[in-house]
Amino acid sequence: MAIPAALVVVPVGVLFILSGLIVNLIQAVLLVLLRPLSKSLYRRTNKVIVELLWLELIWLIDWWASIKIDLYTDAATFQLMGKEHALVICNHRSDIDWLVGWVLAQRSSCLGSALAIIKRSAKFLPIIGWSMWFSDYVFLERSWAKDKETLKFGFKQLEDFPMPFWLALFVEGTRFTQAKLLLAQDYATSKGLPIPRNVLIPRTKGFVSAVYHMRSFVPVIYDCTVAIPKNQPPPTMLRMFRGQPSVVNLQIRRHLMQELPETIDGIAQWCKDIFVTKDAMLEKYFTTDAFSDLEYQDIGRPKKSLIVVISWSCLLLLGIIKLFQWFSFLASWEVIAFSVTFLVIVTIVMQILIHSSESKRSTPPKVFQVDSIKEKLLC
């Protein structure tokens, strides 16, 4: 039986926001005092600190909602995950694809060095967006004239990253919806391209830039394909808060960066071909229920996130008790007013975070922008 989201969002929100503010404050202090002295030490320290926050979301997946991630990849790739720099590309199928990536990174001991190329507005999200900004995420404005230099600078900053990192890029540029699929199909028809049925047409400029600037120090590309079983709704943040379980199928193929073409057009075509292959694989899965020909790998369910959440809960509960003891000199109505105000703020912040993850809010197509959106789907 599903739990009403409101009964979970508020207590989890209190935990997440208070612990997040502590983590953000420590990150800010480290940025000012430690990074100017040693960028390498700052990054190593930040990895440990930020995982104390991000593991709370891993706990939601693993222990609260019991979302199961079935991973398919070859044994050699599974052993190398977390031990090498990698550019990670993936189709964008659900609202929590990024969290699925974090779960996999946590299992590979590189959660705190799992980075992504995401839209600029994300860095203004309370707590989570700020933690990403402190952690060298690359933020784009979705204007190639501006993003070209932003990407170049971001890739340059990663050259001396002191530990294995993953840089995730959702090449489709937006989450999959039926409305966006129809636009992609119309565009493909007009241009004589393969007509997609389960993916969108990849926007290759960012991918080409990543390969061009990072192939000298990033040895591999992890080609990820995500699929949700037909007999269940796609997982969302709200379903996760309600404790509703889901299954996510994930396949990873490892490609050596040196095997990619040298030319810009060749790199772009390689990416398009990968998505044609993904589309065929997903079509087969939805038709025959056979997902992957690679080996199933058990990623387990470590207790680390559970321990972190319990530790934060005890620490913050003790702090709240002490705070109310210090407020004992105030009138009871003042304490009540403060508590209610704080809970309202928590509710608003959590609503912002939840709504920002919803696919229906991701660059929705508008009738008067159809031609423009079609062009953007391929660029």
pLDDT digits (tens, 9 = 90+) for 340-360: 888 889 889 888 888 887 765
Report the range of poorest mean pLDDT among 51-60, 197-206, 303-312, 335-344: 335-344
Q: What is the reported pLDDT for 126? A: 93
Give the mean pLDDT of the chain: 90
Q: What is the reported pLDDT for 363? A: 54
Domains of the chain, CATH where assigned: 66-301 (3.40.1130)
Q: Among 116, 105, 133, 115, which residue's Cα sits nearest to residue 31?
A: 133
Residue 364 carries which side chain, given as an amino acid letter?
A: P
Residues 19, 321: Cα–Cα separation, whole Å: 16
Predicted confidence (pLDDT) at residue 361 exceeds the cutoff of 70: no
Report, as an integer, the average pLDDT of 135-140: 96
Q: Which two tokens stand for residue 30?
A: 């480290």
Contacts of 228 (CB under 8 A, 6+ apart): 93, 94, 234, 235, 246, 247, 248, 249
pLDDT band with cut points at 50, 70 and 90 for residue 374: very low
Report, as an integer, the average pLDDT of 149-158: 96
Predicted confidence (pLDDT) at residue 276 exceeds the cutoff of 50: yes
Predicted confidence (pLDDT) at residue 321 exceeds the cutoff of 50: yes
Predicted confidence (pLDDT) at residue 109 exceeds the cutoff of 70: yes
Q: What percent of the chain has pLDDT over 70?
A: 91
Q: Would you give the distance in Å from CA 29 to the centre of its chain? A: 25
Report, as an integer, the average pLDDT of 292-301: 96
Q: What is the reported pLDDT for 252? A: 98
Report the range of poorest mean pLDDT among 21-35, 163-177, 313-327: 313-327
End-to-end CA distance of the chain: 44
pLDDT band with cut points at 50, 70 and 90 for residue 378: very low
Q: What is the reported pLDDT for 39? A: 97
Predicted confidence (pLDDT) at residue 74 exceeds the cutoff of 70: yes
Q: pLDDT: is 192 or 323 the higher one? A: 192
Q: What percent of the chain has pLDDT over 90?
A: 76
Report the range of poorest mean pLDDT among 26-30, 168-172, 239-243: 239-243
Residues 34, 43: Cα–Cα separation, whole Å: 10
Q: What is the reported pLDDT for 265? A: 96
